[in-house]
A and B are shown apart, each in its own frame.
Chain A
Amino acid sequence: MLLSRLPARRRAAAAWRARRPFAAGLLVAAAGAEILLVPVAGTGLIVHTGVGGYAAFLLGLFLVALGAALWFAPDQRVPVALLTVLAALAAFVLTNLGGFLVGTLAAITGASLAFAWTPPADDG
């Protein structure tokens, strides 16, 4: 098998990724980071809607935490995915359109991937 030709550490990392919804968690955490950073990265485009600055900070951090939860508590992926969708929708309304839609869509996609993920068949 192709995997067996990889160095041992890379194989271990690949096995670690296979045991959890890795891409889903990464996408959700990246969405949180994007929502978090949009008000901070000061270009001429930046938007604050009232509480938007604080909401972006809190919801961004929350999404990063949810992404971490997908990695480190993959058993809880269904409730975490539902919370992620709700947080992404809240971010759309409360922050800068959820990081100009990118963050909200990435978080929803990541949550759906996590929801669809199933643990690999127990082969060792």
Chain B
Amino acid sequence: MTRPLAPLRRFLVLFVPAVGALAVLAFGMAQGALPASFAVSGRQMQVSAAELSGRGFGLHPAVVHSADGGDHPVMVLTMRSARVRGLCQSARVDTPLGRYTVRLSAKDPARASQITGLSISATRVDADVDFTSLLLNRDAGGLGTGTPADGSPGDFGVGAGGFTVTDVKADAWMVAGGSFQVTGLDVSFGRDVPACF
């Protein structure tokens, strides 16, 4: 090297831009510019939310098949697009080390997460609901709400143009077909992680 830098200066030449890049990444994640994305499916789990609102709601009965060959009658709740606050999902997992809980939740309950094409196969839903343009017992084959999946023609169905649900608690087999934009995702896995409810 013709003009050697002092060791400290050589150190800073790499260290300062690297920490700067780290700060940019951290800022981007905090702002939700680099959203954490995930897709979930599979076993019975709990889904809860403080508030869920959006457009294009449908409900119809269906049967889901689990990996162990079991059939589970469920109601399928579909939503074309939704904003959700206080989203939380948890499932119990049996490992050789005992029963663990996986929990995904939004860190800041005041900030809304955006969900499109959401489909929840639930066995039980507990919520306070406010529907607009509601149609009970519409044919499940054509709910016409633009939701990702319709039921079988002839089945009971519920369709609604808009909806606001508060304090939702659901026991679900599957949450699928959606894209989740969650700002500030908190994912915990451990023996003493609390379930959502």
User: Which residues from chain A sit less than 8 Å from chain B, CB to CB?
Assistant: 42-50, 52, 81-82, 85, 88-89, 92-93, 104-105, 108-109, 111-113, 115-118
Q: Which residue of A lies closest to B36 (CB)?
A: A49
Residues of chain B within 8 A of A44, CB atoms compared: 188, 190-193
The answer on a CB contact under 8 Å between A47 and B18 is no
- Of A47, A49, A82, A108, which is within 8 A of B15 by CB? A108
In the bound complex, how far is the Cα of B8 from the Cα of A93, in angstroms?
A: 28
A50→B190 contact, CB < 8 A:
no
| Contact call A116/B21, Cβ cutoff below 8 A | no
Q: How many A-B residue pairs have CB under 8 A?
A: 77
Tell whether, in the assembled complex, residue A89 and residue B21 are in contact, meaning their CB atoms are under 8 Å apart: yes
**A contact residues around B37 at 8 Å (CB):** 50
Q: How far is the CA of A18 from the CA of B189 in the complex (A)?
A: 43
Residues in B with CB closer than 8 Å to A89 are 18, 21-22, 25
- Most A CB contacts (10 A, CB to CB) among B8, B14, B100 go to B14
**CB–CB B190/A46 < 8 A:** yes
Chain A residues whose C-beta falls within 8 Å of the C-beta of B34 in the assembled complex: 93
| Chain B residues at the A interface, C-beta cutoff of 8 Å | 4, 7-8, 10-15, 18-19, 21-22, 25-26, 29, 34, 36-38, 97, 100, 102, 185-193
CB neighbours (8 Å) of A113 from chain B are: 11
Q: Which residues of B contact A52 (CB under 8 A)?
A: 187
Residues A46 and B22 in contact, CB atoms below 8 Å apart: no
User: How far is it, in angstroms, between the C-alpha of A81 and the C-alpha of B192 when the chains are bound?
Assistant: 39
CA distance A112 to B16 in the complex (A): 9
Is B10 touching A48 in the complex (CB atoms < 8 A)? no
Query: Looking at the complex, which one of A49, A93, A115 makes contact with B185 (CB distance below 8 Å)?
Result: A49
Inter-chain CA distance A84–B94, complex, in Å, is 37
Contacts of B25 in A (CB 8 A): 89, 92-93
* New A-B contacts (6) at CB < 8 Å, excluding given A48-B189, A81-B14, A118-B4: A42-B97, A42-B190, A85-B18, A93-B34, A108-B19, A111-B14
A92 to B15, CA, bound (A): 16
Chain A residue contacts of B8, Cβ below 8 A: 116
Give A47 Cβ to nearest chain B Cβ, in Å. Answer: 5
State how many angstroms separate the Cβ of B194 from the closest Cβ of chain A: 10
